[in-house]
Amino acid sequence: MISRRSVLCWLGVSAGGAGALNTFSFAKNTRPENGTRVIACESFCVTNPDQVPLLRSYIADTLLPCMRQSHNVPRMCLEAVVAPHVPQTLLLTVYSGFDEMLQVRARIASDSRVRRAWAGIESAQVLDDVRSQVLMVNAESVRLPDSAMAKSGLFEVRTWHAPAWRGGAAPEVSSVLRRIGVDPIVAGATVAGEHLPRFTYVVPFDDMAARRQAWARLDEDAQWMEMQRESMNRFGSGARATAKAIYKLAPYSPLG
């Protein structure tokens, strides 16, 4: 059963409330630079497949309408195909800054519809866990899909630990990714936590074969290999993927 700590974290309790994650308390005192955005990533881990319709109903019929009425921020819902925990739903919401994120979360937390529906989720023991992280991204590094074409493809969420990217991923990284056919719709730095600097990319692919071919090209790219050697020499480690998961667009997900 999901813990009260996770519930309070997701419901948007700030640093003053019991059970809030350090990530969100950290956010209260952090100000992104001009031209940056903040992305909240919420992973809802379902206890068993039979309970997926309950979570879908909660998100589609209660949470998303409440978010739309409260503050119509860009958002996208993904459902796991291959991940450490399946079934799982990932909700991405984009904000102009931490203040907006905390204000919206507080309004949702106080909404009576959300509280009633969440009580039902808890009572039915639908969720095993809710995991949260916050990313900071440049405005040009987040492009949620606004086309129905996204409904047929896959999305990989890949997290890198990259000591050489401490000031942000170098332009050469984007150049390499474009060359191998990787075009992220999200490329952001994790705000707080362990093993920093850590970067999360959300990458669309037509299918699993296209994904395998793209990452195989990365391993063979001369510029990438040189960047990895330089990182090894300076930091003792190259960029390495620490987490990977494959998702599809949820049938009820907004586009754009």
- For range 226-232, the mean pLDDT: 95
So what's the pLDDT on residue 54? 97
Quick one: pLDDT band at residue 256, thresholds 50, 70, 90? low
So what's the pLDDT on residue 179? 95
So what's the pLDDT on residue 166? 82
- pLDDT by residue (tens digit) across 31-42? 455 578 999 999
18: CB partners within 8 A, 6+ apart: 8
Q: Residue 93: is its pLDDT beyond 60?
A: yes
Q: By the 8 A CB rule, do 92 and 253 touch?
A: no
Q: Residue 249: is its pLDDT beyond 90?
A: yes
So what's the pLDDT on residue 95? 94
Lowest mean pLDDT among 82-91, 168-177, 235-244: 168-177
So what's the pLDDT on residue 219? 92
- For range 158-179, the mean pLDDT: 89
Average pLDDT of the chain is 85
Lowest mean pLDDT among 62-71, 124-133, 198-207, 245-254: 62-71
Quick one: pLDDT band at residue 89, thresholds 50, 70, 90? very high
> Between the CA of residue 182 and those of 75, 114, 215, 217, 218, what are the distances in Å?
22, 37, 8, 10, 9
So what's the pLDDT on residue 71? 78
Quick one: pLDDT band at residue 20, thresholds 50, 70, 90? very low
Give me the helices (H) in the chain, please: 4-11, 22-28, 52-58, 64-70, 98-110, 112-123, 171-180, 208-220, 222-235
This prediction has a pTM of: 0.85
- For range 49-58, the mean pLDDT: 97
Q: Residue 5: is its pLDDT beyond 60?
A: no
Whats the size of the chain, residue-wise? 256
* 27 vs 93 pLDDT, higher one: 93
